[in-house]
Amino acid sequence: MLFTPESVHGMASTIEPAVDATQGHATRIAGAGFEAAHAGQDYSEQGKKLAAGVEGIVTMLQSWSEASGATVEVLRQAVTTTVTTDQEHRAQIAAAEDELGTA
């Protein structure tokens, strides 16, 4: 499998702005302060459903933001680990070649 660090880092950079944006949307929706009573006395059942739906949307957006942030971290960690390992192996191979006189 070909691993291109620049491509993986690019994916992380593409996802990263969505982390804060998604959290911001959740905060703004929650800040609207919709409560079941806002639907009116004659619509309490519908108000409860709407309030639950709004809460579900906020929770989903927060979860999505957290998952996106975790994904960014893992992608960047994968790049760092892979590049570091490649550099270490390259140095070990060069040292072995020097020792064997095959360089």
Q: Cα separations (Å) of 34 from 23, 47, 51, 53, 64?
A: 18, 9, 6, 10, 21
pLDDT band at 90 (very low <50, low <70, confident <90, very high): very high
Q: How many residues does the chain have?
A: 103
Give the pLDDT mean for 85-95: 93
Q: What's the domain range around 92?
A: 5-100
Helix (H, G, I), strand (E, B) or coil at 16: helix
Q: How many domains does the chain have?
A: 1
Residue 9 to residue 73: CA distance in whole angstroms: 10
70-80 average pLDDT score: 96
20 pLDDT higher than 60? yes
Radius of gyration of the CA atoms of the chain, in A? 25
